[in-house]
Amino acid sequence: MSLRVRDRLARLAAEECVGREAELDLLLECLAPDSPPVTHLHGVGGIGKSSLERAFADRARTQGAVVIQLDCRAIEPTEQAFLTELGGAVGSEACSALAVADRLSNLGAIVVLTLDTYEVFRLLDAWLRNVFVPLLPDNVRVLLVGREPPAAGWLASPGWRGMCRSAALGPLNEPGAWALLERHGLAPDDCRRLNQIARGHPLALALAAAAVAERPEMDLRQVAAGSVVEELSRMYLADVPDALTRQALEAGSVVRRVTVPLLAAMLRDAAPQDAFERLRRLPFVETARDGLIVHDVVQQAIASALQAAEPDRHLDYRRAAWRVLRETARSGSRAELWRYTADLLYMIENPVIHEAFFPTGASPVFFEPARAEDGPAIVAMTRAHDGPVAAALTQELWERLPGSFFVGRSRSVAVVGYYNLFDPTSIGSIKLPNDPVFAALSAHLAASPIPRGQRVLFNRRFLDLERGELPSPLQAGAWLEIKRTYMEMRPFLRRVYGAVREAEVYGPIFQRLGFQPVGAVELDGYTYALGVLDMGPGSVDAWLAGLVAAELGLAHDQLLDVDARELIVDGQRQSLTTLEFGVMRYLSEREGKAVTRVDLERDVWGYDYQGGSNVVDVVIRALRRKLGERASVIETVHGAGYRYRNNT
């Protein structure tokens, strides 16, 4: 009998996953009725996790399972975005967690959901563990594929022991490595020579094979054992035969994903479509639905080499990419917004920001909403670090607003820290008259209200059981969870307020993030510094774009120093009133778009337009006077309003 198409596909998948038969059999065990519902496959970059996941999916389908494959890089790490993506993949009309889980259960006797590149989904890890996966029925399995081992909660949280299996993926054995190299057309002597360098690492093997194919006489013996992929990446780039491919690869090394518009901006003297196709053919470049993805291990090696050798060109590429991303983010739909947010996050070199959204290393703790029995531990921790008055205030807040507390747990499930986070506009009539921190933050908000429809967060307190407020792995985990809340509230999150005791430690960090001081209060003999981050009408995305602009030295592009709330015209600074700053920021964040007076009165002044007022025109005239020779950047759109267009 002749082979069917599905049989050929399975064979091709098995060939792509050469040398991984034992690992493939291990994953296929999850199809058994009594297997753990969650398997976490993890390993270093380039070790072959995605290839193994694809081979597993094809083999599982031949055994009758239904497999739903999602790539976490393409999904905004928020609950609703994940449910929408998964709901579309399974044909669910409703996108609630329960509806999608029920739909999965009805697709077949065994259904497998795979989440590849799971390391970029850490913002959503706790919600998946605590909410979504527990809703899944017995016939559904989940395969998480990423670089990091599972977070502690999957292995230690009550009820999860024995429910999650962790599988580490290591290098290929010698027969597997030789088989992979032979698929690239190498002779046995070359296979032996190259595997002595690559040591079974699949990406290193592919790079070595590609480098030798470009220049057969190349001597790879000088490659250092500790940085095989990095050195092979640089050697491969140096020996790419045509200049355009080299330039496209260098440009692609500074952005998260490569698109034709990005290449057009970064390679102004090249045909961008041709450069895109040349890049697409490289062995370590993957075609995704929203562009090309250069394998990040290769990408980082090339970017670091370019930055060291030609820092000006590296900076020019990043600046050109930022300008494209800034414009496309302004015109993109809500569904597309995450792509540009992720692109901007990738470009941020500020380690505080980058680590907050894309943490490295497995966290020793996991965070979850506090349970009823956690109150005494939270209050005792506060008393130990902050004093008796602070503990009493925490007890009062716990009684009035328990849902605002989130606790960090160790592998033994003990409470080892907490943070308190809530939207003050959503708590209704709840008051905390005895809390000077809450009172001071509320007073600032009342004196400078936000426009209707925008939202606020109070980050009231963070504490680590051992280190108090000082930096720690627990604090990094809390920071990650808070950033997940940022993402869920965009594009409506306008401000974030916070209070810290260790002002000397956190002041410089918060200043770089854009926080402004709003006073201080005394409590139990300690001084708490209060600060606010006003992200502006553009919310999280505008804030991130501003951070990238500052890193790239592009603040002059916007004429507006957001942190100082000043105009910078020909090197001279002009102070702004609150309304002037609000109007200038609103217009500049919508560069090229006509903005009506109604828009400005509603979103900057914060009230509904009643007609007949010239308050907007008065502020515009004041701004133009301060802009001087640059006044033309604010254009009048007859019959509509105003438009900001900075052509510098």
More confident residue, 8 or 109: 109
CATH topology for the 5-168 domain: Rossmann fold (3.40.50)
> How crowded is residue 514: how many other Cβ atoms within 10 Å of its Cβ?
19
- Find the mean pLDDT for residues 248-268: 91
Q: pLDDT tens digits, residue range 31-64?
A: 998 899 999 999 877 788 888 999 999 999 999 9
Shortest CA distance to 361 belongs to which of 44, 41, 144?
Answer: 44
417 pLDDT above the threshold of 90: yes
Give 446's contacts (C-beta < 8 A, 6+ positions apart): none
Element housing 322 (H / E) = helix 311-331
Six token digits for residue 204 = 């290193």
CA distances from 534 to 61, 247, 352, 438, 497 (A): 50, 39, 18, 18, 9
226 pLDDT above the threshold of 60: no
What percentage of the chain has pLDDT greater than the value 70?
85
- Find the mean pLDDT for residues 345-353: 75
Give residue 274's pLDDT band: very low, low, confident or very high (50, 70, 90).
very high
- Find the mean pLDDT for residues 545-567: 74
Give residue 364's pLDDT band: very low, low, confident or very high (50, 70, 90).
low
SS3 annotation, 335-392: HHHHHHHHHHHHHCCCHHHHHHHCCCCCCCCEEEECCHHHHHHHHHHHHHHHCHHHHH
- Find the mean pLDDT for residues 514-537: 90
Q: Which CATH class is domain 366-534?
A: alpha beta
Six token digits for residue 435 = 């809390």
CATH topology for the 566-644 domain: Arc Repressor Mutant, subunit A (1.10.10)
SS3 2: coil
The predicted structure's pLDDT at residue 305: 82
pTM of full prediction above 0.85: no
Cα–Cα dist 600/520, whole Å: 32
SS3 annotation, 570-582: CCEEEECCHHHHH
537 pLDDT above the threshold of 60: yes
- Find the mean pLDDT for residues 265-284: 89
608 pLDDT above the threshold of 60: no
Task: Please give the mean pLDDT across all residues of the chain.
Answer: 82
Report domain extents, the chain: 5-168, 176-356, 366-534, 566-644
Output the furthest CA–CA distance in the chain (Å, rounded). Answer: 85
Give 23's contacts (C-beta < 8 A, 6+ positions apart): 52, 167, 169
Cα–Cα dist 363/393, whole Å: 30
- Find the mean pLDDT for residues 23-32: 91
Give residue 359's pLDDT band: very low, low, confident or very high (50, 70, 90).
low
